[in-house]
Amino acid sequence: MGKEVPASFRAAYDEALARWPVPVEAVDVPTPYGVTRVNRCGPPGAPPLVLLPGGGATSTVWGACVAAGLARDRRVYAVDLVGDPGLSVPEPGLGIRTPEDLAGWLDAVLDGLVPEGRITLAGHSYGAWIAAQYAARRVGWYAPRPRLDRLVLLDPTQVFTGLSPRYVLRALPVLARPTPGRIRCFLAWETGGVPLDPAWLRLQEETAAFPTARPVTGPRPDLTGLAPFGLDVLFAGRARCHDPLRALATATRTLPGARVRLLRGASHHALPLTEAGELVRLLAP
């Protein structure tokens, strides 16, 4: 059986997506691991940009960036992760269990969206970890068909440093038994009370009742071979999920060819809902 999407979740999802100020086309991409929902916008033929959200955030989290002009010069493909809250539908009995499974899933998604040419792949948080895992496996002389032109990692978790124990302790009640109140309190703690898009926040609260699969985990991706590759890494200066200065130092040391920077005023879970103008400039063609 495919997952049942609660009616209240679907209503909140549609409300959040309706706030995007450009026409959006829903695309369902078949993959070996299920049907992946992608929300597409921007001029056909423009440079393709594939966006992976953080865990539980859904593709709608990129709405502020779209409103700030992200789709003006980009063909934007915002993805709902399979097994996560959203409108992707996992294949029964065939879950994604390893980083290589994730890479195979993303291969199929990219084949369905952009069969020819290269793309920019960007991810936030857990989505950045997925993007980094993909790049580590699919970029280099051994790649059967290079797909990536550029990789952008927005405050990636567990790529350059581990999670903060304090953050994990705060997150455990939300992970163990999510409720709308717990989700709202956790986000308020991590962001320092920064106002978030109310439609997206309502959708986040609705994820409490959403059936999800256990997220894939694994070792940190080895990105040391990507020095000549177009690689941007941005860290949120007020992030509580990890030590941003330590993560920045590690990224700078291990990736001398990358453009690594700190966005001092941003917190982890406020991205990409806030600082949208800065992110649009970073993601520009």
Percent of the chain predicted with pLDDT > 70? 95
Average pLDDT over residues 103-124: 95
When pLDDT is cut at 50, 70 and 90, the band that residue 222 belongs to is confident
Task: Look at residue 256 in the predicted model and tell me its pLDDT.
Answer: 86
* Sequence-distant (≥ 6) Cβ neighbours of residue 243 within 8 angstroms: 161, 164
Give the position of tokens 């280099």. Answer: 140
Q: Is it the case that residue 181 has pLDDT exceeding 60?
A: yes
Percent of the chain predicted with pLDDT > 90? 80
When pLDDT is cut at 50, 70 and 90, the band that residue 141 belongs to is very low
Average pLDDT over residues 76-86: 96
Q: Is it the case that residue 185 has pLDDT exceeding 70?
A: yes
Cα Rg, the chain, nearest whole Å: 17
